[in-house]
Amino acid sequence: QVQLQQSGAELAKPGTSVKLSCKASGYTFTSYYIYWVKQRPGQGLEWIGYIYPGNGGTYYSEKFKGKATFTADTSSSTAYMLLGSLTPEDSAYYFCARRGYSAYYWYFDFWGPGTMVTVSS
Amino acid sequence: DVVLTQTPVSLSVTLGDQASISCRSSQSLEYSDGYTYLEWYLQKPGQSPQLLIYEVSNRFSGVPDRFIGSGSGTDFTLKISRVEPEDLGVYYCFQATHDPNTFGAGTKLELK
């Protein structure tokens, strides 16, 4: 069955970086987009962007350009998001989600459990 | 960026009631291929979001038929007939027609 396993909670200092992982299983990793979504505690969902592991192509929301960097390791079916120059505003849950499809339809059919990132000195 | 405005912000219901959530877009969500990439997700407390509806009105596998999506262009609605306890949480609309994709701010469905 399809699963997305995300790495554990991170506590980081301002100005540093963290690299979050999203390990996929149960499907062909290179055939589906992986999206990343931010959610600050008690707040709504914010779209960060996506990576297509099949060719490494990426797209970032303007707000996250320079903040987030997506990579994918096809040998381990794992997607990564590097968050750099951390500030307290980066403290949030970060979800990865698979962009599934059926015929012409697309949707987020599987989500990871989320990784909590706390930025504090 | 496309702004999705959800109303109401919160909705208090009695079990068995009908609930209706509106999602209004700042631009038409009909793509050049004729499809409208408007989806609805439910996030239950402490959980990841889960897909309810895709392409305006298509229920995802396993979603009960009491969830009904409708709309076109810039105006969309999610109706839940006969609210049940497992329906409580925050509902988000999401558009993937335009880049960057965007979520609505959410509607919290809670018990009266």
**Full 3-state SS string of chain A:** CCEEEECCCEEECCCCCEEEEEEEECCCHHHCEEEEEEECCCCCEEEEEEEECCCCEEEECHHHECCEEEEEECCCCEEEEEECCCCHHHCEEEEEEEEEEECCEEEEEEECCCEEEEECC
Contact B39 A114 (CB under 8 A): no
Q: Tell me how close the Cα of A83 comes to any Cα of chain B, in angstroms.
A: 19
Query: How many Å is the Cα radius of gyration of chain B?
Result: 13
A2 part of contact set with chain B, CB < 8 Å: no
Q: Cα–Cα distances in Å, from B90 out to B42, B45, B53, B76?
A: 6, 8, 14, 17
8 Å CB contact between A52 and A99: no
Q: Tell me how close the Cα of A95 comes to any Cα of chain B, in angstroms.
A: 8
| The predicted structure's pLDDT at residue A103 | 82
Count of Cβ atoms closer than 10 Å to residue B55 Cβ: 18
| The predicted structure's pLDDT at residue A102 | 85
Q: Cα–Cα distances in Å, from A8 out to A3, A50, A89, B74, B97?
A: 16, 21, 19, 39, 32
Contact A108 B105 (CB under 8 A): no
| The predicted structure's pLDDT at residue B46 | 93
A6 phi, psi to nearest 5 deg = -105, 155
Please write the tens of the pLDDT for every residue from A59-111.
Answer: 999 999 999 999 999 999 999 999 999 999 999 999 999 999 888 889 999 99
Q: Tell me how close the Cα of A26 comes to any Cα of chain B, in angstroms.
A: 18
Q: Residue A46: its chain B contacts at CB < 8 A?
A: 103
Q: Residue B41: its chain A contacts at CB < 8 A?
A: 45, 108
Best residue of B2, B4, B48, B61 to probe chain A, by most A CBs closer than 10 Å: B48
Q: Establish whether the linkage from the previous residue to B64 is cis, with ω within 30° of 0.
A: no
Contact A105 B54 (CB under 8 A): yes
> pLDDT tens digits, chain B, 112 residues: what are they?
999 999 999 999 999 999 999 999 999 999 999 999 999 999 999 999 999 999 999 999 999 999 999 999 999 999 999 999 999 999 999 999 999 999 999 999 999 8
Residues 6+ apart with CB under 8 A from A106: A99, A100, B37, B54, B96
8 Å CB contact between A111 and A50: no
8 Å CB contact between A73 and A21: no
| The predicted structure's pLDDT at residue B66 | 97
| The predicted structure's pLDDT at residue A31 | 96
| The predicted structure's pLDDT at residue B58 | 96
Average pLDDT of chain A, as a whole number: 97
A10: tokens are 């991170």
Q: Residue B62: its chain A contacts at CB < 8 A?
A: none
Q: Tell me how close the Cα of B92 comes to any Cα of chain A, in angstroms.
A: 8
